[in-house]
Structure 1
């Protein structure tokens, strides 16, 4: 209740408040005067509030709040399920497909989601479809029938009923309120990605740009741009840091991929993190406190494709950033799928694991041992024997990676941090971390440093960002 009374935006997405008298649900920071306590109800998800018969507030737009940080901070069944639902698994494979990926029965998944979130996977996916529909209604001039199917609805009637039920407005009324923001003429969808303050974009965008693969990623006119391989086609996204949001421009070959593309971009930029909780814990260490105070809100740069990053991590073993980019660029030219990018210099999608598994090892300009590591990894990923996707079991993936030849602790933890999104991943043997530890008076030996870093749990991946920032490297600077 204190969070609602203080209108604390930090709790947006953590829970939702509903008012019995108006039948409206809001985010905690809604500017409307809070009602009497006895008239309020609290729900752990927007889907639960919708199932209880409440409609979204037109003023605070709770459907557009940042997601709960819990789903990216935890590795249990519910968190993994939420990441997969956001990645569109229920829309593409249904609840049975979701359960299969999680390794549980449909009944177990349903029971645990309802117990914690007050809604099952279908209701949660429906809430996501409603938000996607609203984005398309307000930011494009697409016909409503096209929007219905692009958002994942099976019929125009279901689309109309859901929009009316959730937003208390018809689709045409929602469009009339959007003040002429339509941009479908160019095929570009423009939107704002919210986050919890503070956010320091320097290392986030700096890292993505400095390690970007030519043809797949670029920095152009203040925008980070990259290609996306999506379930129904491909896309190009442009992202730019703004004071209170991330500007996002999406061009998709199939609009049905909108929600998935947004989810992957949010995950790549770590936008659902709770920086206050992270920074408060790290400040407890006197060594880290000045680093956090100097530039709070650092995020962990993740990826849009776990398998892609795993390959890039192997390419980066014991070589410079520039050399790793060169190796990756060659693979993209040889095995990536060409695309057309009228707005810039992007040329390819990153190769699939199946395409890379067909590579002739003799064509790889690596030492023999590295070629063996590379081929074993891509063949294993192509066969689906290791899951590095949104719903992956972090510990199981670590064990499977470590069992492959040539993949040691640095590679495993790099993949855990960037691909799996484990907030506690820690690259104790990284050269940049070793230099930072030396300069800060911390233990340099990986084992001793890991022991000291136990106090930073469960946010050691964020501590890595602050330690890296002590060095003079392009990954720490927002490109000019």
Structure 2
């Protein structure tokens, strides 16, 4: 979008928050860059320049605005709705792959050479993978400076900087102030390893199905609804975390307890992914409202998101456990697996007890210990074997169509399971479940076609947002996934 100069100008002059994260506005006369909704008086048109990423604006010599904090805006929805190389790379960079594995590791995951990755990202985003990761490190540093009392040397290491000098230089370059001044303006607290953050999103956001779904399907020990918050454990590259998420009208309140602060950017990225916070709800709802059958559902409760996962292999395993059983039965199966093979953790603030079992741990389980039919045991062991061997890779950077083909080739993986995984684990916004019983009941009540083939044909008008149509259709049923839980410990 940054190449459409006139459209960008209109967004800036209208202070349109819908475009925050889509592009960044640099001002030649001040040397700063802003989000489109910056509250200051818009600059003259001839002084505006537009960039597709914060990293590109930083590389061009611009500093982040202190008023609108453009580096903290929601991410571009493009990277979560596209399946091409650039989008897959951006999802992996946000998930910390460059910081843990370097650019060669990023290239290996995508199946391209380092040179191809560099060229593609520079052409579309104006910055290479290292610059994009550096921009993410700068944001991590600011969060730690402003919200903790950690010594600056520890902040530098936690944010991923190679030296305190590089840390100081980057903070001054990006934010036009010193780390000490950033801390003076922030609100540090003294609880080591615990961070209270605000996760921004594009309005509107309807929390009912989003948090309702996560709470209703929560696996005991790994997830819970407590005091108005969805809480869960997360396995991260260097340790683990306990996160508590609470919806508010303006943002998602996020409380993170980390065993290693270097995992902060990955933890934030996975929380945003879990709640689909980088979506463009206006674009989604506008398209769905073009169907007169869908329009009343959307207008009644706009802004529905697709509840996702923080761990794609975990979701795939849980999808198999949930085949042809009730939600309660699926939770019971998963809970037994967690107790038997999950790693115990401590949770002073609640009732969480384990991390969900890793693929390596599941690869060692005895199939006969699974209380399920033999055919489903075969499905489970084949899935785990494919994940453990690397034959099947499930990550935010996976190729959606390739994974569809790989899953479909495994025994026991029908369209419902495949599409559920691609929708909620991999984030394909166009995944669709025409055979789902709840979808068929909703279609019947709305006067839509009810057979999978006819409904799929009708759904072509909802593309590329059919996963969101699924959320609106599910919301017509009287099920716990469609409403926030009572404010009590479950």
TM class, shorter-length: over 0.9
Structure 2 unaligned segments of length 5 or more: list them: 1-8
Structure 1 counterpart of 2:5: none
**Closer/same/farther in 2, CA of residues 186 and 96 from structure 1, 3 Å limit:** closer
Q: Scaled by the length of structure 2, what TM-score is found?
A: 0.97
Pairing 1:29–2:37 present = yes
Equivalent residues of 2:430, 2:463 under 8 A apart = yes
Residue of structure 1 equivalent to 2:6: none
- Counterpart pick for 1:133 among 131, 141, 146: 141
- What secondary structure is seen at the aligned counterpart in 2 of 1:247? strand
Q: 1:148 to 1:43 in 2, by over 3 A?
A: same
Map residues 209-358 of structure 1 onto 2, 5 A cutoff.
Answer: 209-358=215-364
CA distance in 1 between counterparts of 2:83 and 2:72 reads 24
Give the match for residue 147 of structure 1.
155
Residue 47 of structure 1 is matched in structure 2 by: 55
Q: Distance in 1 between matches of 2:469 and 2:331?
A: 25
Aligned 8 A contact 2:416 2:433 in 1: yes
Query: What SS is found at the alignment partner of 1:134?
Result: helix
Partner of 1:97: 105
The one-character-per-residue Cα deviations of 1:250-287 (angstroms, maximum 9, x if unpaired) are 00000000000000000000000000000000000001
Contact 1:199 1:296 in 2 (8 A): yes
Distance 2:191 2:452 in 1: 54
1:85 aligns with 2:101: no
Offset at 1:186? 4.8
Q: What is the aligned counterpart of 1:38 among 31, 46, 51?
A: 46
Give per-residue Cα distances to partners, 1:274-306, cap 9 Å, x unaligned.
000000000000010000000000000010010
Q: Quick check: 2:338–2:355 contact (8 Å CA) kept in 1?
A: yes
Tell me, yes or no, if the aligned pair for 1:199 and 1:275 is still in contact at 8 Å: yes
Instruction: Classify the secondary structure of the residue corresponding to 1:32.
Output: coil
Runs of 5+ in structure 1 lacking a partner? none
- Contact 1:354–1:379 (8 Å) recurs in 2: no
Contact 2:193 2:261 in 1 (8 A): no
Q: For residues 141 and 227 of structure 1, what CA distance do their matches in structure 2 show?
A: 24
Question: Is contact 2:193–2:260 with CA below 8 Å preserved after alignment?
Answer: no
SS of structure 2 residue aligned to 1:225: strand
Are positions 1:162 and 2:196 aligned together? Answer: no
Q: Residue 412 in 1 paired to residue 412 in 2?
A: no
Contact 1:424 1:460 survives alignment (8 Å): yes
1:4 aligns with 2:22: no
* Matching residue of 2:400: 394
1:185 CA drift (Å):
2.2
**Which residue of structure 2 aligns with residue 207 of structure 1?**
213
Contact kept, 8 Å, 1:423 with 1:462, in 2: the verdict is yes
- Aligned equivalents of 2:189, 2:418: Cα separation in 1: 42
Structure 1 position 388, deviation (Å): 1.2
Contact 2:404–2:418, Cα closer than 8 Å, also in 1: yes
- CA–CA distance in structure 2, aligned partners of residues 370 and 311 of structure 1: 11
Cα distance in 2 for residues equivalent to 1:477 and 1:339: 29
What corresponds to 2:377 in structure 1?
Answer: 371
Instruction: Please give the alpha-carbon distance, in whole angstroms, between the structure 2 residues aligned to 1:278 and 1:97.
Output: 34
Structure 2 match to 1:473? 479
2:127 equivalent among 87, 95, 119? 119
Alpha-carbon displacement from aligned partner over 1:291-339 (angstroms, at most 9, x marks no partner): 0000000000010010000000001101000000000000000000000
Instruction: For 2:153 and 2:437, locate their aligned partners in 1 and report how far apart those are by CA, in whole Å.
Output: 54
Name the structure 2 match of 1:15: 23
Compute the displacement of 1:434 (Å). 1.0
| Counterpart check, 1:451 vs 2:457 | yes
Q: Is the Cα contact below 8 Å between 1:269 and 1:299 reproduced in 2?
A: yes
Counterpart CA distance in 2 for 1:208 and 1:255 is 26
Name the SS of the counterpart of 1:50 in structure 2: helix
Describe the superposition over 1:206-247 as per-residue Cα deviations: whole angstroms up to 9, x where unpaired: 000000111000000001000000000000000000011000
